[in-house]
Structure 1
Amino acid sequence: MTSTATALTIVPSYLEGAWWTPDSAPENAPIARDANTGEALAAVSAEGADLAAVVRYGREAGQRNLADSTFHQRALKLKELAQFLNGRREELYRISAQTGATKIDNLVDIDGGIGVLFTFGSKGRRELPNSNVVIDGPLEVLSRDGSFVGEHLYTRIPGVAVQINAFNFPVWGMLEKFAPAFLAGVPSIVKPATPTGYLTEAMVRLMLESGILPEGAIQLISGSARDLLDHLDYRDLVAFTGSASTAKVLKGHPNVVFGGVRFTSETDSLNAAILGPDAGPGTPEFDAFVRSVATEITVKAGQKCTSIRRTIVPEVLKADVVAALSARLAEKVVLGDPRAEGVTMGALASLDQLADVRAAVQAMLDAGGELVYGTLDSPQVTRRDGSIGLVESGAFMSPVLLSWDDPDTREIHELEAFGPVTSVIGYRSIDEAIRLAALGAGSLVASVCSNDPLIVQQLVAGIAAHHGRVLVLNREDARSSTGHGSPVPHLVHGGPGRAGGGEELGGIRSVHHHMQRTAIQGSPNMLTAVTGVWHPGADRNFDAVHPFRKSLAELRIGDAFGSGLREVTLQDVTDFANSTGDTFYAHTDAEAAAANPFFPGIVAHGYLLLSWAAGLFVEPAPGPVLANYGLANLRFITPLAAGDSFRVTLTAKQITPREDQDYGEVCWDAILHNQNDEIVATYDVLTLVAKTQDGVDASQSALLTQ
């Protein structure tokens, strides 16, 4: 414990495309230590780093190099990066053990972080266009003749995404912010927390070693970045995870208050788990509840922003819950160095963190809490060599359960012990359970454990607005649930009030968070040019070559085909009704159909018209169009009576090549008009089309193997 910063190696930063460390660390520089033994690992300092140049490099080199790729190309890089990192996890596990992380903790932090890359790599290709512009919402027609229209679109912000992360998830915390920023095309500046930043540095080093990321996509500041916000402006974004007090200071920075820097935070959170009154001992819900609470206060030694701090149970079941939790903790928790066999819970991240948690628990005891499981004394632990004893220099703490007679005690709902600690409090009605949960003043997540739909409906309706996420746990999903404390990339992670008011993850929502939504107004032709998507009213190209005979290399937005008219007879409608079994009266009973205010008499089935429309526009010979994989946005507008005619106009609306295949998707605008030029139906036809004429056979083979 006597090591000085000047005698240690310094955790490197990666700035302006190169690894960098100061010539020496100040005498008072923070020291990263092995959480289990107290051994000094490295000094942490970025003293002398030119942070203005770091921001400038991100805005210039990072933005320029990310602009060279589309959403799909960046998504594929995320997938490739995830595959690369998957093969190097053991290296990270060994380093992670020094933070106090167990094998289970590594699954959450390291594997979970890599899983975020996989998810965004997949969702980016499925849900975003192969371009750099995203249309948001439907077209708005702003003039009577359709020559002036408007819509909203997203484009990436032109600055950097500064990501300030907490000590508890040095890998996942970085990657869950980096992935959506990278997919959006925004360069990241990563600032990890001091105690575990050496693990973040190891992950960034592997990411760069992969050679997958374009230059400038990521920079790493290992050490203080006190003046970083001084160099940001409205072009930039700050995503902060940490204490509410630090978030308050950062949010008060003039460049945030007056300069337009986008700031989101995810901070302290007194999350709750509520046991329904129906879920008594012996029910699957009671068992699932006990498992969940015990897991949440021991994974990462309870150092999770999503950990269950308040265990809210029916007053009559409080003693049962305490007994069951105590028994499970005694059975499942083996405290010690994660590198020793059999250890299930490691140390807190640092001795400072241990002191903070002990102080918080003592304050809660002084406020009336009763210690019903655990101790504040140094516990007996399994050392790295397998022996059992005290490790005074290790940041070990026993799991702690506190029981309270007065569930309204202020400290329960205001004081967070950021470690393996939870408070068990009782309620006497559903309304009281809702009120107690809301006393957290905004939380990241709550669990509701019940198998009674009415109770679940009441609880969720009552607490949802106070939380960013609610997990409903019962016998049906107890095994498949990802758990109370595991944010998933598909759903938002954040919460109102005390939790910071931010939203991270949430699938493509978090990509949009790194983009600016802009209203664009103009003619259909100009909006088509801006977005790369054909708009109604824009020019069409009716040439001699049927558009289904064109590969992606030849097809252009606006290429179109128009059919002649086809008459629909009463016999056609009757035959279709009889052959399909769709004998709805509007197609079979003239008197009943005429009495319907929507129909002039017997009308053609909408699906008959769709089938015939395909016959009017399809080019039947083998060619670049490989398959029809669906319809979208179908609307039937004007009924077609027996004896009427219709025609179809098909226009190439959007072309999306697949980066890793010999084909891509083409969305065709289809519109049916009757003999009076009234619109009968509108919809999108979705097809898979070969990239080249020579690639038709290869594309067909690729489809067959998928």
Structure 2
Amino acid sequence: MRKAQLYINGTWIEEPRAAELVKNPYTGEVIGEQQLATPEDVDRALACAFDAKKEIARIPAYERARILKRASMLLEERKETFARWISEELGKPLKNTLDEVSRSIETLEQSAEEAKRLFGETIPGDASARGTKAVAVTFRVPVGVVAAITPFNAPLNLICHKVGPAFAAGNAVVLKPAPQTPLIAAELLKLLLEAGLPPRAINMVLGGAEVGQQIVKDDRVNVISFTGGVVASRNICALAGMKKVLLELGGNAATIVHEDADLKRAAALCAKTGYSNSGQSCISVQRIYVHESVVGPFTELLKQEVEALKVGDPLLADTDVGCMVDERAADRVMSWIDEAIASGATLVCGGKRRGATVEPTVLFNPPKRSKVVCEEVFGPVVSVIPYRTIDEAIAETNDSAFGLQAGLFTNRMDIVYQVVEALDVGGVVVNGTSNFRLDHWPYGGVKNSGIGREGPRYAIEEMTEMKMIVWQFPQ
């Protein structure tokens, strides 16, 4: 049985601690256990990171890059093993976890490359009459200590998206992974140390909200990088005080299918990206606004694509949809489906569950105030909603507390420009769905979808400070 231990001050903690079992959500089988950090453990982790920050900052950029590149190579060698571990711990299909490991390799590689690109600039002073004999030079310096708090739904890549840029920038890290997926976090940490990560460059503590709260309110932390939900993010902001807070939060992503769209392509992509990882992605397709002139044929095409998805054992290579992270999450999603149907939505397909597995579900025209429309489902549920004009589709998409990404299917450039300009989101995917991301692109949203951008280059900017040297020359 695998164990996730605390890692503090360069040491895996062997002393007894309270522990929790980790179960495979698909089979219910116990696959491991995790140690739970005490308040004293968390304090020691913070103290170590604070004490080590100058030591880590002194590591030259080429060496930080070499370590991260080595980590990416080791992960490439063990790709299938890591993918299987994620599938066992999360219930995410193997085809999706193989993709996640591939993305994690890229994230580490890109972090390595960006470690060597901490550029500054030279700013002449003579734009001001008082500066004719002065020049300023800027450069980037590490913030010091980064707190990385990660979710369960992409438990490998989202740790890489925080630890990779933080170390590339020269920071020490305190990592708190999701309590649902501690085993994969421990395996990644072992790999990073094998790649040459300095023992005191990272500390890992395990536990629930109380552990995260102790970390974020501590003044030894300089930047908090959090991926998760809105409720937790508001709690973080209330506790953090004078710290930079980076938030990558949720969404209830919309995709617009206009009357001139390629309906077959749109239906196929909506089916593929609405149900991968059982919809447990913040940019998973949730609301599909379809022009009323094509909503009938589109819905039939979508139904065919969704019913062709294979639901089953996440460890089988041909499985498309596994299970949710636990039965409690499945219960919640089923209650939202039932609420929508009771309120007038039509069940097109799906709507059943077995254990933690919820069948891929399509709803037609649920009321706009039902939970499946106005909140984040984070489950395998997609709603098809007709619209009459593109202005109506834009207004309905924007009528949300979230604004992460949106998709648009059309061949008209005037519609593209109108929609892109009008949507209140962080990104718009044209002739694709909301659920498309490359890891080197700036990723983030507006409104309740977060603050700041991820992607190694952009995260490094957030995890460093600009310092300026001013040269004054004799008259």
Aligned partner of 1:503 in structure 2 is 453
Which of 293, 302, 310 is 2:270 aligned to? 293
Aligned partner of 2:198 in structure 1 is 214
Aligned-pair CA distance for 1:31 = 3.3
State the alpha-carbon separation in 1 of the partners of residues 334 and 54 from structure 2: 45
* Cα deviation 1:281-334 (Å, max 9, x = unaligned): xxxx32221122111122112111110111111022222221111101122x11
**What is the aligned-residue identity percentage?**
24
Choose 1 or 2 for highest CA Rg: 1
Aligned partner of 1:20 in structure 2 is 13
Q: SS of 1:169's equivalent?
A: coil
Query: In the alignment, is residue 324 of structure 1 matched against residue 301 of structure 2?
Result: yes
State the alpha-carbon separation in 1 of the partners of residues 74 and 2 from structure 2: 28
Q: 1:65 to 1:519 in 2, by over 3 A?
A: closer
Aligned-pair CA distance for 1:421 = 1.0
Question: Does the 8 Å CA contact 1:136/1:154 hold for their aligned counterparts?
Answer: no
Moved more, 86-95 or 238-247: 86-95
Which of 47, 54, 63 is 1:56 aligned to? 47
Q: 1:442 to 1:227 in 2, by over 3 A?
A: closer
Query: In the alignment, is residue 488 of structure 1 matched against residue 414 of structure 2?
Result: no
Aligned partner of 1:429 in structure 2 is 389
Aligned partner of 2:246 in structure 1 is 264
Q: 1:340 to 1:504 in 2, by over 3 A?
A: closer
Q: 1:426 to 1:183 in 2, by over 3 A?
A: same
Aligned-pair CA distance for 1:66 = 3.9
Amino acid at match of 1:320: P
Query: In the alignment, is residue 245 of structure 1 matched against residue 235 of structure 2?
Result: no
State the alpha-carbon separation in 2 of the partners of residues 344 and 405 from structure 1: 26
Question: Does the 8 Å CA contact 2:37/2:205 hold for their aligned counterparts?
Answer: no
* Cα deviation 1:478-511 (Å, max 9, x = unaligned): 7xxxx74232232211101121233211x52221
Aligned-pair CA distance for 1:174 = 0.4
* TM score, norm. by length of structure 2: 0.92
Aligned partner of 1:613 in structure 2 is none
Aligned-pair CA distance for 1:461 = 1.1
RMSD: 2.4
* Cα deviation 1:602-659 (Å, max 9, x = unaligned): xxxxxxxxxxxxxxxxxxxxxxxxxxxxxxxxxxxxxxxxxxxxxxxxxxxxxxxxxx
Normalized per residue, which structure has more helix?
2
Q: 1:486 to 1:136 in 2, by over 3 A?
A: farther
Query: In the alignment, is residue 517 of structure 1 matched against residue 475 of structure 2?
Result: no
Query: In the alignment, is residue 273 of structure 1 matched against residue 223 of structure 2?
Result: no
Query: In the alignment, is residue 334 of structure 1 matched against residue 319 of structure 2?
Result: no
Query: In the alignment, is residue 306 of structure 1 matched against residue 283 of structure 2?
Result: yes
Q: SS of 1:189's equivalent?
A: strand
State the alpha-carbon separation in 2 of the partners of residues 509 and 417 from structure 1: 28
Aligned-pair CA distance for 1:34 = 0.4
State the alpha-carbon separation in 1 of the partners of residues 137 and 428 from structure 2: 34
Which of 348, 352, 356 is 2:332 aligned to? 356
State the alpha-carbon separation in 2 of the partners of residues 135 and 209 from structure 1: 32
Which of 153, 167, 179 is 1:182 aligned to? 167
Aligned-pair CA distance for 1:22 = 5.3
* TM score, norm. by length of structure 1: 0.63
State the alpha-carbon separation in 1 of the partners of residues 200 and 288 from structure 2: 45
Query: In the alignment, is residue 469 of structure 1 matched against residue 427 of structure 2?
Result: yes
Q: SS of 2:136's equivalent?
A: strand
Work out the number of aligned pairs and report it.
470
Which of 65, 78, 89 is 1:75 aligned to? 65
Question: Does the 8 Å CA contact 1:148/1:523 hold for their aligned counterparts?
Answer: yes
Q: Give ranges in structure 2 of 5+ residues lacking alignment.
A: none
Q: How does 1:614-629 map to 2 (within 5 A)?
A: none
Aligned-pair CA distance for 1:40 = 2.2
Question: Does the 8 Å CA contact 1:21/1:46 hold for their aligned counterparts?
Answer: no
Amino acid at match of 1:345: V
State the alpha-carbon separation in 1 of the partners of residues 340 and 34 from structure 2: 33
Q: 1:139 to 1:412 in 2, by over 3 A?
A: farther
State the alpha-carbon separation in 2 of the partners of residues 155 and 460 from structure 1: 35
Amino acid at match of 1:55: L
Question: Does the 8 Å CA contact 2:146/2:221 hold for their aligned counterparts?
Answer: no
* Cα deviation 1:550-569 (Å, max 9, x = unaligned): xxxxxxxxxxxxxxxxxxxx
Which of 411, 417, 423 is 1:451 aligned to? 411
Q: 1:136 to 1:373 in 2, by over 3 A?
A: farther
Q: 1:182 to 1:139 in 2, by over 3 A?
A: farther
Runs of at least 4 residues off by over 4 Å: 142-145
Amino acid at match of 1:149: V
